[in-house]
Structure 1
Amino acid sequence: MSKIRITKQFNFETGHALYGYDGKCKNVHGHSYKLSVTVIGVPIADPNNVKFGMVIDFSDLKRIVKEEIVDQFDHATVFNKNTPHVELAAELIQRQHHVLLVDYQPTSENMVIDFAARIKARLPQNIELHSLKLQETGTSFAEWYAADQA
């Protein structure tokens, strides 16, 4: 049976700062991110299954990505937990702002690696994560492909 790729897109707003960077992005700023999640699998062939003909129900994929990515990162400020930004983070947290401290420099490249791990851990066994595209601006994006990880 044929393998089919399906894609669902998500939008969220996130702030970040790149510690040690030599340009403007060392300052706290934000982006309107667009995330495209593509999975691959064989459509369900059992006519008695309520999801007959689907690789995965779009609503099931939406729930996974919403819980793992959108709900976590939307309107959050992301800092590398090993930078001096932790002082600013502590102040923001004290003022009840949504702050995420991560183990990496919060670039689009590193965020997409993090997102891939989070999504892969939640997908059903018969569904594979094919690719992610994280668009930071209208002209800039990072992509993750499972085929490149081998």
Structure 2
Amino acid sequence: MKFFEITRHLEFDAGHRIPNHQGQCRHLHGHRYQIEVTLKGELSEVTGSSNEGMIMDFGDIKRIMQETIIEPWDHSFFVAKSDVVMVDFLNTIPGHKTTVIDHIPTAENLAKFAFELLAPKLNSQFDGKIKLQRLRLYETPNCWADVIEE
């Protein structure tokens, strides 16, 4: 049996800070994040279906990524719930788009969080015949974090 992998790439803008960082990242700053999801699975062999010959339609992957990650996170500010000073400050800004997460918003933690949000939605497609294999989150063009399902 042959398995295939496909990857979908999207982008969003967001801000964060790493409160205990000894360098510049302790300051408020933003990134043009890029996110890639790689799915592993078998090709659909349902004759006449719109997914025939595919693992999953790229448009369907985009829709799930948009609903789950891009729309909630685009132009948001990520803050760790333990960063009380920043959480309190952001709560004073009316209508501010803040995403409070359990951990420091490093590239690794954001990638893990995105993986945990996307995996159940993507893995449930086609009776579980596909699997979110890898999620890559670029913080900059030269720096990224991978979460890999083994």
Q: TM-score scaled by structure 1?
A: 0.92
SS of the residue corresponding to residue 7 of structure 1 reads: strand
RMSD: 1.1
Matches within 5 A, 1:128-143: 128-143=131-146
Task: State the 1:128 CA deviation.
Answer: 0.3
Pair 1:53 & 2:48 matched: no
Q: Which runs of 5+ in 2 are unaligned?
A: none
- Asked if 2 retains the 8 angstrom alpha-carbon contact of 1:79 and 1:89, the reply is no
Matches within 5 A, 1:55-74: 55-74=55-74
Which residue does the alignment assign to 2:102?
A: 103
Residue identity opposite 1:6 in structure 2: I
Return the alpha-carbon distance in structure 2 between the equivalents of residues 138 and 56 of structure 1: 27
Return the alpha-carbon distance in structure 2 between the equivalents of residues 100 and 50 of structure 1: 36
Instruction: State how many pairs are aligned.
Output: 145
Task: State the 1:44 CA deviation.
Answer: 0.5
SS of the residue corresponding to residue 92 of structure 2 reads: helix
Report sequence identity in percent: 30
- Provide, for residues 82-121 of structure 1, a one-character-per-residue CA deviation record: whole Å limited to 9, x for no partner: 21211122123x2x22111111100000000001111101
Matches within 5 A, 1:1-150: 1-83=1-83, 84-92=85-93, 94=94, 96-123=95-122, 124=125, 125-147=128-150
Task: State the 1:50 CA deviation.
Answer: 2.4
Return the alpha-carbon distance in structure 2 between the equivalents of residues 143 and 102 of structure 1: 18
Task: State the 1:138 CA deviation.
Answer: 1.9
Give every structure 1 segment of 4 or more consecutive aligned residues whose post-TM-superposition deviation is greater than 3 Å: none
Residue identity opposite 1:126 in structure 2: K
**Of 108-117 and 135-144, the range deviating more from structure 2:** 135-144
Return the alpha-carbon distance in structure 2 between the equivalents of residues 72 and 104 of structure 1: 18
